Amino acid sequence: MRPFPLSLYRSPVHFSLYAAFFSTRTQGPPPPSPSHQPLQKDTNTLQNHQSHTNNNADPLQYVKAFSNLTTTLSRNPRNFNALRTLDSILNQTESFDSSTLVFIIHCLSRLKKLGRAKTVLSYLKFTGKVSDYFLYSLVVDCLVKDGKIDDVETVWAEICGSESPSIPRIDISDYVIYVCKWDGVCEIKSISERILLGCRVLKKQSYIALIGALCRVNEGLLAKEIAREMYYKGLKVDDLTYFVMFQCFCKNGDLDEADLILRKLVRRRYHIDICCIHGSFTYALCKSGKLREANKLFHKLIKRDCSGGSTNVKFLKEGRRAIFQLNCDGVVPQMMAYEMYFRSLCSVGRLDKAEVLLKKMMKMRTVPQICVYGSFIKALFQVGRDEDAMKFFNVERKKGIIRVDEIARFIIMGLCEMGKVDDALRIFDEVVMTAGGVSCLSICNCILESYWRLGRVVEAESLFERLRNGSLGLPDVLTYTIMINGYCNQENVSKALRLFEEMLKSDIRVNGTLYVIIFQGLCSCRKLKEALKNLNDMIENGHLVSCMRWKVLFQSMFTGVEHGISLGF
């Protein structure tokens, strides 16, 4: 292994890690074993990799051989020949890239060789190629997979033990905020469940970030558990966090939980945005099928339209929803009440009631917002009534009351979703290009994506060239993502890679999504060596944010491959 600085060798923590690392090297000769011959083949492969690390050795072959070695040790943990081979390989950690080292840490953790795993993780941290957040996730998902968060903190302190006190060290609170910002549903839920198993008090902003992230992915009940944990730890949940939870329960159609949160906000004298509260609860009523109550709430709002209303109430009665007990006379403008109810009906596909409401709105003096027209058009397309959507568009186009290019955007998006891209392009040329008011790029991206779904590669490339020369607006990250994804789906990874390189040269900011698309494209073409390199790039440039996501991508490399590798998770 590459020598650590002298200060690391003097650290008692790292001394114990190294002692554990080399503990099996003094074992006696291996007893006869039926697995000796297969193991010898793996050993030769591994040793061959070590002797050619500077000659473009194939890391994929090493990964396969190390996987076989892991399988051998999982069947017979006291296979001394395999253990000596394992320690011999671990002496060469400087020869492997970051992705391979992550694989080694995972395998060692599965074998319960935690001392060795800590040592490799310490080396990976020492190289400075991988972010501390990703390394922390390795502790969470590999070294302390079944333990509590406090155990994670203890192991992480061992990994960082020799660092200078002046170097900032992340902790569980920092990691939670990082997960909430960058990770997906599985990672957010996983860290939430680990925290609920019991841990030391986190920073208040970490709990708040976690609640917000859970609400963002519609995990309202889990967010409620985190809020309760926060309360038990002596931290106050602020009103804005409760409001975020209220909106989440409304979005999920969970009326009882939404009502409980609303009562809490009223008791705490929270300054309620009555329009937002009623809009969210109206949607919840419609989604849960309580259309009679939704209609009742709507008529309560439009009963009076004066000024100076108040949302304050002295107390809330039990047995009646809190939303109906709020004093909202004159607080919600009549047109806004119509729009909230109308958009809620459209969102749940109740177009029969929505159309009646729309006719009433059209007779009013105030013109509805453009989002009202957009909601109606989207709802028509969702239920397959594209002809009605076109009729509605043409009628409004003749009226000339609202800007036709703005509602044309919703028509074009709906047509593209239905695969009618030629009709969408015609309206784009006739209306949008003529008016020149709406951003062309977002519409072009929609048409471009539709071309790829239909397999019309030539038209997609032609439209992309028009964007490249600037006649329709310069392509953005989404444009390149659509093109690269299209080429990968067509198994034309070489063109996808050329576009990716073009982005890098043009200083267009790439993201993790693009890396994943290219990775999957390489895997589908069975270019696993290149896919492994891409995975390594993702780890080292910070676009692969957690070990859990690494596991999913790494395992997908070998899905459907004969004699593939299983991570066993």
pLDDT over 90 percentage in the chain: 53
Of the three residues 142, 168, 194, the one that is the final residue of a domain is 168
275 versus 54: the higher-pLDDT residue is 275
Residue 181 CB coordination number (10 Å): 11
Find where tokens 């591994």 sit: 46
In angstroms, the CA 108 to CA 164 distance is: 28
Q: How confident is the model at residue 436 (pLDDT cuts 50, 70, 90)?
A: low
pLDDT tens, position by position, 344-356: 999 999 999 999 9
The backbone torsions φ and ψ at residue 554, rounded to the nearest 5 degrees and listed phi first, read -60, -45
Residue 4 pLDDT greater than 50, yes or no: no
CB 49 within 8 A of CB 57: yes
Tokens of 351: 């177009």
Rounded to 5°, the CA angle 551-553-556 comes to: 105
Cα–Cα distance for residue pair 487/494, rounded to 1 Å:
8
Higher per-residue pLDDT: 190 or 161? 190
pLDDT at 32 over 90: no
Q: How confident is the model at residue 507 (pLDDT cuts 50, 70, 90)?
A: confident
- The set of residues, in sequence order, having a beta carbon less than 8 Å from that of 53 and lying 6+ positions away, is 92, 95
Q: Bigger pLDDT: 352 or 4?
A: 352
Name every residue whose Cβ is closer than 8 Å to that of residue 38 and which is 6 or more positions away in sequence: 68, 72
Q: Pick the residue with more confidence: 524 or 472?
A: 524
User: For 472-494, b where at least 16 C-beta lie within 10 A, e where not — what string?
Assistant: bbebeeebbbbbbbbbbbeeebe
Number of domains present in the structure of the chain: 2
Q: Please answer whether residues 49 and 65 qualify as being in contact, where contact means their C-beta atoms are separated by less than 8 angstroms.
A: yes
Per-chain mean pLDDT for the chain = 83
For residues 397 and 348, give the distance between their C-alpha atoms in angstroms, rounded to a whole number: 26
Q: Is residue 116 part of a domain?
A: yes
Tell me the residue range of the domain where 39 lies: 6-168
**Domain membership flag for residue 468:** no
Q: Taking residues 413-435, what's their average pLDDT?
A: 88
Distance set, CA 92 to CA 21, 105, 110, 129, 243 (Å):
13, 14, 20, 17, 54
From the list 360, 401, 355, the residue with the least C-alpha distance to 375 is 355
Whether 239 is covered by a domain: the verdict is: no
- In the prediction, which pLDDT does 162 show? 65
Q: What pLDDT does residue 521 have? A: 93
Task: For residue 469, give Cα distances in angstroms to 59, 153, 228.
Answer: 41, 53, 56
In angstroms, how far is the first alpha carbon of the chain from the final one?
A: 29
For 202, 262, 333, the CA distances from 274, given in Å and listed in that order, are 33, 11, 11
Q: Which of 1-15, 56-70, 144-158, 164-178 has the lowest mean pLDDT?
A: 1-15
Rounded to the nearest angstrom, the gap between the alpha carbon of residue 244 and the centroid of all alpha carbons in its chain is 19
C-alpha distances (whole Å) from 206 to each of 136, 156, 202, 536 are 16, 18, 6, 29
Q: Is 401 within a domain? A: no
Distance between CA 207 and CA 238 in Å, rounded? Answer: 11
Q: Give the predicted TM-score (pTM) of the model.
A: 0.82
**Of 339, 425, 398, 350, which is closest to residue 374 (Cα–Cα)?**
339
CA distances from 478 to 183, 475, 483 (A): 20, 8, 9
Tokens found for residue 268:
């705490």
Six token digits for residue 285: 């009523």
Each as own residue / partner, the long-range contacts of residues 558-564 (CB below 8 Å, 24 or more positions apart, any chain) are 558/528, 561/526, 561/528, 563/64
| Domain end point (choices 168, 203, 236) | 168
Alpha helices in 400-511 (DSSP H): 404-417, 421-427, 433-435, 440-453, 457-468, 477-489, 493-505
23 pLDDT band (50/70/90 cuts)? very low
CA max distance for the chain: 94
Say what the pLDDT of residue 321 is: 92
Which of 139, 168, 197 is the last residue before a domain boundary? 168
Q: pLDDT grade, residue 310 (50/70/90)?
A: very low
Closest CA to 140 of 559, 550, 558, 532: 550
Residue 234: both structure tokens together: 């002596």
288 within a domain of the structure (yes/no): no
Residue 317 lies in a domain: no
Would you say residue 421 lies in a domain?
Answer: no
Flag whether pLDDT at 564 surpasses 70.
no
Q: Is the pLDDT of residue 35 over 80?
A: no
Asked whether residue 485 is domain-assigned, the answer is yes
Confidence at residue 149, expressed as pLDDT on a 0 to 100 scale: 92
